[in-house]
Chain A
Amino acid sequence: MRGFKRADGRKGIRNTVVVAYLVECAHHVAKTIVAKVDHDDVQLIGFPGCYPNDYSLQMMEKLCTHPNVGGVLLVSLGCEGFNREQLIGTIEASKRPVETLVIQQCGGTKSTIDLGVAKASAMLGDIASVERADLDVSELVIGTICGGSDGTSGMSANPAVGVSFDLLLAQGATCIFEETGELIGCEQIMAERAETPELGEALLACVEKAEHYYTKMGYGSFAPGNAEGGLTTQEEKSMGAYAKSGSSKINGIITPGEIPPKNGLFLMDVVPDGEPMFGFPNISDNAEIVELIASGALMILFTTGRGSVVGSAISPVIKICANPETYRNLSEDMDINAGSVIDGNHTVEDIGQQIYDCVLKVASGQQTKSEALGHKEFILTYKRFNTSDTTTIEAIGPACLAH
């Protein structure tokens, strides 16, 4: 495998120019720039809000300096609350080209779009010469999530991803699983896999926080429909989602945007600290995908039983279908048919190997189904971590009022 080598030593598997809007008011201009350039490697990301938030700023910093990103074009209205200067500084420090267009200073919509198309096209040309370097399996960072789950997810696709994680981790890769709200009931088993007793305690606390959060938000846990589908206990239900993590030792916990400090297996704690403040932790699958990418995931393994068609900006998404009926119905969107486990044609281990092989091909440049179909979903919302930091709470409000 050959990767794109960045100045900070990290290696990407794609070489993308991201066009990022810094407030919803600049969304149309940024989107039109991307549409007019019309190139697979020019992609749209952005933050819609106008109230500053440490989490969203950190997420944008991590995304704009992601190893798959070669250059950044920022599109600002001019008066938004987003800390544009800090983001520009972070991108410059990563030695990536960065350009900023301020609509209020560029003459308006059409003028900014014309300028943006020229700048994005030029940047695409500039980063085409970025250094290529050998890429080892141990340098891969892979995230996994499930969406549109059904009874088959925990029987075929999720355990198969677990097998592929074990194969990747055995070769020194970094793997990330998440969604602590769906791990309620198996935290003791998870804690036993922790590298240290302290980490085991932290994993238990993580799930306890999730349980508190979802209870406050009004989520139930084990539903009657689960029992009809064959599930008997909360721990069995959670184990179905948890199966994606495989059976390797767990090396740490990270929050969204945090880069794993070493290679190994990490749980991403996606549930905000403190009392619910901005709503549900992840309002759609795409928000979780973006969080994994912000933490450096070069690729996402997405399992689905009922079916999903999503992809993502910045990092390719490999879709693994758990249900044979869904696969027959949506095969044009699915990269891997784990439903063949249900049909009795393959074992979970066979599909795990297939996923592993697919990961290496995609890392080598092969397009996933969602990439070929042009899926580049992106969503970024508000969150808050570290409640002990009271300045974070005080900082919520228009930046203009803070001075």
Chain B
Amino acid sequence: MQTKFVRVNANDNVVICCQRISAGEQVTIGEQQFTMTTTIEVGHKVASQAIGLGEKIIRYGVPIGSATTDIEFGEHVHLHNMKSDYIPSHTRQSRVGE
């Protein structure tokens, strides 16, 4: 089965969807077979391992935010279960925007 995901960096704990996947579709993530529970659009992230609450989400080999809940293998990773760790940006932006 051809993979429908791209892993950008070997250290990442998410993979990126390359072709739209419907809920119920069988896919491989890494070496593992998995049945998607939700529909995933191109460019969206899926957990390639279990990620605990508060753990960093790693893409490009670096943290791009952290989990706001426990995330299971194969689960969609998006605004509903992760957040930005980049709070200083907003503080600074509001300051320079005065």
Q: Decide if B29 is an interface residue (CB 8 Å cutoff).
A: no
Contacts of A348 in B (CB 8 A): 6, 8
Contacts of A344 in B (CB 8 A): 2-4, 6, 18
**A276 → B minimal CB distance (Å):** 12
**Among residues 309 to 337 in chain A, which have CB atoms less than 8 Å away from a CB atom of chain B?**
none
Complex Cα gap A208–B89 (Å) = 9
1/0 contact trace for B22-58 toward A, CB 8 Å? 0000000000000000000111110000000000010
Q: Decide if A137 is an interface residue (CB 8 Å cutoff).
A: no
Selected from A152, A185, A247, A343, the residue in CB contact (under 8 A) with B43 is A152
**Among residues 1 to 28 in chain B, which have CB atoms less than 8 Å away from a CB atom of chain A?**
2-4, 6, 8-9, 16-19
By size class, the interface of chain A is: 35 or more
The answer on a CB contact under 8 Å between A155 and B89 is: no
**B18 → A minimal CB distance (Å):** 5
Contacts of B92 in A (CB 8 A): 208, 211
B61 closest partner in A (C-beta): A247
The answer on a CB contact under 8 Å between A155 and B64 is: no
A243 closest partner in B (C-beta): B60
Complex Cα gap A341–B43 (Å) = 13
**Among residues 181 to 197 in chain A, which have CB atoms less than 8 Å away from a CB atom of chain B?**
184-186, 189
**Among residues 209 to 225 in chain A, which have CB atoms less than 8 Å away from a CB atom of chain B?**
211-212, 215-216, 221
Selected from A211, A242, A243, A342, the residue in CB contact (under 8 A) with B96 is A211
B66 closest partner in A (C-beta): A233
Q: Decide if A159 is an interface residue (CB 8 Å cutoff).
A: yes
Q: Decide if A232 is an interface residue (CB 8 Å cutoff).
A: yes
The answer on a CB contact under 8 Å between B78 and A230 is: yes
Contacts of A24 in B (CB 8 A): none
Q: Decide if A227 is an interface residue (CB 8 Å cutoff).
A: yes
1/0 contact trace for A231-266 toward B, CB 8 Å? 111111001101100010000000000000000000
B40 closest partner in A (C-beta): A230
Q: Contacts A159-B8, A235-B64: A185 and B41 contacting too (C-beta < 8 A)?
A: no
The answer on a CB contact under 8 Å between A235 and B63 is: yes
The answer on a CB contact under 8 Å between A155 and B8 is: yes
Q: Decide if B82 is an interface residue (CB 8 Å cutoff).
A: yes
Complex Cα gap A105–B86 (Å) = 61
Complex Cα gap A247–B17 (Å) = 23
Selected from A154, A159, A232, A242, the residue in CB contact (under 8 A) with B65 is A232
Complex Cα gap A154–B59 (Å) = 10
**Among residues 57 to 91 in chain B, which have CB atoms less than 8 Å away from a CB atom of chain A?**
57, 59-65, 77-79, 82-86, 89
The answer on a CB contact under 8 Å between B84 and A233 is: yes
**B61 → A minimal CB distance (Å):** 7
**A103 → B minimal CB distance (Å):** 46
The answer on a CB contact under 8 Å between B43 and A232 is: no
Contacts of B61 in A (CB 8 A): 247
A209 closest partner in B (C-beta): B96
**B98 → A minimal CB distance (Å):** 10
Q: Decide if A112 is an interface residue (CB 8 Å cutoff).
A: no
Q: Contacts A156-B6, A348-B8: A232 and B18 contacting too (C-beta < 8 A)?
A: no
**B10 → A minimal CB distance (Å):** 10
The answer on a CB contact under 8 Å between B41 and A235 is: no
Q: Contacts A212-B96, A232-B77: A159 and B60 contacting too (C-beta < 8 A)?
A: yes
**Among residues 146 to 161 in chain A, which have CB atoms less than 8 Å away from a CB atom of chain B?**
151-152, 154-156, 159
Selected from B41, B63, B89, the residue in CB contact (under 8 A) with A230 is B41
Q: Contacts A232-B65, A236-B64: A243 and B93 contacting too (C-beta < 8 A)?
A: no
Complex Cα gap A243–B61 (Å) = 10
The answer on a CB contact under 8 Å between B93 and A233 is: no
Q: Contacts A215-B93, A230-B16: A235 and B6 contacting too (C-beta < 8 A)?
A: no
Contacts of B45 in A (CB 8 A): 230, 232
Q: Decide if A229 is an interface residue (CB 8 Å cutoff).
A: yes
The answer on a CB contact under 8 Å between A211 and B79 is: no
Q: Contacts A155-B18, A185-B86, A211-B93: A341 and B65 contacting too (C-beta < 8 A)?
A: no
B residues with CB within 8 A of A: 2-4, 6, 8-9, 16-19, 41-45, 57, 59-65, 77-79, 82-86, 89, 92-93, 96-97
* Interface contacts beyond A233-B65, A234-B84: sample of 4 additional A-B pairs, CB < 8 Å, sorted by A: A208-B92, A232-B82, A235-B63, A239-B64
